[in-house]
Structures are given as structure tokens and as C-alpha cells.
């Protein structure tokens, strides 16, 4: 296995719309070289969510 492996999947959701999923797997040695530990806790929300217009603009630009 390489240091980074990305799995991709897509298919229709319950509503018939197509959805995509991905998972990223990174070897522990690669994380350590970046100063990270594999047993570090995940990221946590530390502030309020951006305003609604920000989300709408991001979705519009994604298309």
C-alpha cells in the first residue's frame, strides 16, 4: 500500500439523486513525518458555523 490511499464510491441515494463518498487512509509513518500522531483526537468545532450566505456561495461556486 502506498502512504495515502483514497477510496471512491458513488451511487443513487434514497431520493434518487446520485451521491459520492470518499475515504482517505494515511499510513501512520506518513503522519509522524508531518508532526502528527495517529492517536490524536479528531478535529472539533471551536466556533460558530459560517452564515447561510457563505454556504450558498460555496455551493454556487462548486457547480
| Cα 12 from Cα 10, distance rounded (Å) | 7
Residue 56: strand, helix, or coil: helix
Write down the pLDDT at residue 30: 87
Q: Which three cell numbers stand for residue 17?
A: 439523486
Cα angle 56, 62, 63; round to 5 = 100
Contact yes or no for 4/24 (Cβ under 8 A) = yes
pLDDT tens digits for range 5-17: 999 999 998 899 9
pLDDT tens digits for range 23-37: 988 888 888 888 887
Amino acid at each position: 500500500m502506498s502512504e495515502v490511499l483514497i477510496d471512491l464510491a458513488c451511487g443513487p441515494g434514497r431520493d434518487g439523486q446520485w451521491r459520492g463518498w470518499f475515504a482517505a487512509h494515511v499510513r501512520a509513518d506518513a503522519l509522524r513525518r508531518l508532526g502528527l500522531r495517529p492517536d490524536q483526537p479528531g478535529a472539533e468545532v471551536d466556533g460558530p458555523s459560517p452564515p447561510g450566505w457563505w454556504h450558498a456561495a460555496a455551493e454556487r461556486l462548486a457547480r
